Structure 1
Amino acid sequence: MKLMRVKEMEEYILANGTVSLDKLCQVFNVSKNTVRRDINRLAEKGVIKKVYGGVTAIEKMPLIPFENRTIQNKAAKIKIAHYASRFIEDDDLIFIDSGTTTQSILDMLDSTKQVTVITNSLDIINTAATLENINLIVIGSNFKRQTKSFVGMDDPASLDKYNINKAFMAATGVSLTHGLTNSDMLEYEIKKKISEKANEVYLLADHSKFGKSTLLTYAPFSRLDCIVTSKPLDQDYENYCHEHNINIHLV
C-alpha cells in the first residue's frame, strides 16, 4: 500500500501543480511525518521539488485534448467498449458516460435489443440516433467541445425519476484511495448523481487510468460492480475487488 500511496501522491501533485503538506495529509489521510517521507522519495526521483509549506511539480501534468485522448490506447479502448456491450440486456435503462473509452459501446449492440439510453455524450447521441431499437434520453444543459459532451444540469434532481439499471462510466483517474475521479465540476455533477442512482456501476477504463487521481472524486472505488480493462490490475486492486465482489474483465 505504501508504494501505491507514493505513486498516487506523485500523480496528485503532478495534476495539481503545487500542493501544501496539510492538503496532502488530508487527501491521503496520513501524518505529516509520513507525507514528508513520501515527498522525500519523490524529490529524489526528480519529479517534484519542496517549497515552503508544501511541494510543487517540476513539470505539471498537461490536460490532454479529447482528440489526442481518443488516439491514446485507441485499440484497447475500442475493445473495452465492445466487450462491455455484452452486459446490456433487453429492456435495460442504461446510462453511458461521455469519454473516449465509452464512445464505441453501441457499435456492437445486438440490433434486436430494445434499450433506453441516457447519455450526455455527443458520440453516443449520434450513434443511438441511427439505431431504431434505442430510446434516447439526452441530459446536460451546456455543450463542452473539449470533451464532446453536454455538461451541467439546471435541476440535477430530475435524474431521480429514472430507474437506471446499469451505468457505464469513464474516469480520468482511478485509485483505491480516491476512487473514480475527473477534473471538471460540471461533468462531476452528472457523474456523481448517476453513480449514486444506478443499480449497477460498470467502469470502462484502460490500464493507464489506474493508480492516478485528479481533482474530483465522483464515486468511491467500492461503488463499482464491474471493471472492464485492458491489462491485469496490481495485486492491491485484485485483492480489494475479490473482497468486495467487484468483477474484473480483461480484454
Structure 2
Amino acid sequence: MKAKRIDLIKEYILENEHVSLKELEDTFNVSMNTIRRDIAQLLEDPRFEKVYGGISVKKNQLISFENRNTENQEVKQAIAETAAQFIQNGDLIYIDSGTTTKYILDYLDKDIQITIITNSLDVILRAEKFKNISVFVFGNIFKKTTRSFVGLPSEQVVNRYNITKSFMAATAVSIENGLMNSDIMEYELKKHIVEKAEINYLLVHADKFDKSTLLTYAPLSAIDTIITDKQFDDSYTSYFENNNIDVLTVD
C-alpha cells in the first residue's frame, strides 16, 4: 500500500510540478507525519527536490506539453481523424483537453454546424476558423502545463447541456481502475461529462493502458467506443464484448 501511494504521489507531483505538503496530506487523506516519511523516501528519486513548504520536480526533468504533443504525433492524428468521423451537424459535443483530442477539429468539414464544450485552449483556438461552431468554455483557471482551463463548474452547470457525444482523454486506463487522471481540479468535470453524455468516445494512445494514476473519473464500462492504436489481449476483448464497447484500431 505504501509503495503504491508513493508511486501515486510521484505521478501527482509530476503532473502539477510543485505541491505543498499540506496539499499532499489533503489529497491522499493521510497524516502529515506519513507524508513526511513518504517524501523522505520519494526524494531518493533524482527527479524531485525539496523546497520550502513542499516538493517540486527539478526543472531539467519536466516534459513540456509541447514536447508531449510531438510524441507519437502521427498516431494521435490518426486517432483524432477517426473520431472526427462520428461528429455530425447539430451535435453538442464535449472535447476533453489532451494531446490527441486537440487534433479532432483538424478533420472536420469547414461548414459543419455544431456546439463544442471544452476546457482545452488548443480546441478553442482551432475552433476560431469555423464560422458555424459555437464554443462554451468550462474552467476559470488556466493551467499552463496542460494548456487547459480548470476550476470546477457545479454539477448543475454541466447538467444544463444536452451533450450528445464526448471525446475523452485519460492519463491512464485499465480494466480494474477505469479511466484515470491525476488532476483533482479536472476530475469532477470529467466525471460529470461522462455521466451526462449520450455517447462517450475514448481517444487514447496504446502506452496509456495498464498504467495507474491518482484518480478514477469513470469506469471503463462507461465508454461506448475506444479509438486507439493498441492491440488487445483476450482479457480486454472479453471485457469489451461483455460491456458492449466498440474498439476502432488505427494503424
Band of TM-score, shorter chain? 0.7 to 0.9
Q: Secondary structure at the match of 1:95?
A: strand
**How much does 1:16 deviate?**
3.5
Change (3 A) 1:11 1:166: farther
Q: Secondary structure at the match of 1:236?
A: helix
| Structure 1 residues 157-213: Cα deviation after superposition (integer angstroms, max 9, x where no partner) | 211110000000000000011100000011112111111111111000010000012
Q: Secondary structure at the match of 2:81?
A: helix
Q: How many residues align?
A: 209
CA distance in 2, matches of 1:12, 1:175: 18
CA distance in 1, matches of 2:46, 2:89: 45
Structure 1 counterpart of 2:178, which letter? G
Percent sequence identity is 48
CA distance in 2, matches of 1:201, 1:152: 22
CA distance in 2, matches of 1:159, 1:231: 32
Structure 2 counterpart of 1:91, which letter? G
Aligned counterpart, 1:215: 214
Aligned counterpart, 1:16: 9
CA distance in 2, matches of 1:17, 1:126: 32
CA distance in 1, matches of 2:113, 2:142: 28
The answer to whether 1:191 aligns with 2:184 is: no
- Between 1:92-101 and 1:232-241, the stretch displaced more is 232-241
Aligned counterpart, 2:23: none
Output aligned runs, 1:202-241, within 5 Å: 202-241=201-240
Change (3 A) 1:57 1:88: farther
Aligned counterpart, 2:17: none
Alignment check: 8 A CA contact 1:173 1:180 kept: yes
Change (3 A) 1:132 1:172: same
Q: Secondary structure at the match of 1:161?
A: coil
Structure 2 counterpart of 1:226, which letter? T
CA distance in 2, matches of 1:106, 1:198: 19
CA distance in 2, matches of 1:229, 1:211: 14
CA distance in 2, matches of 1:16, 1:77: 28
CA distance in 2, matches of 1:76, 1:209: 13
Structure 2 counterpart of 1:104, which letter? Y
Runs of 5+ unmatched residues, structure 1 = 1-9, 19-50
Aligned counterpart, 1:175: 174
Change (3 A) 1:154 1:93: closer
Change (3 A) 1:232 1:175: same
Structure 1 counterpart of 2:9, which letter? N
CA distance in 1, matches of 2:212, 2:88: 32
Q: Over the residues paired in the alignment, what is the CA RMSD in angstroms? A: 2.6
Output aligned runs, 1:15-164, within 5 Å: 15-17=8-10, 64-164=63-163
Structure 2 counterpart of 1:86, which letter? Q
**How much does 1:11 deviate?**
8.1
Q: TM-score, normalised by structure 1?
A: 0.76
CA distance in 2, matches of 1:244, 1:60: 42
Alignment check: 8 A CA contact 1:183 1:216 kept: yes
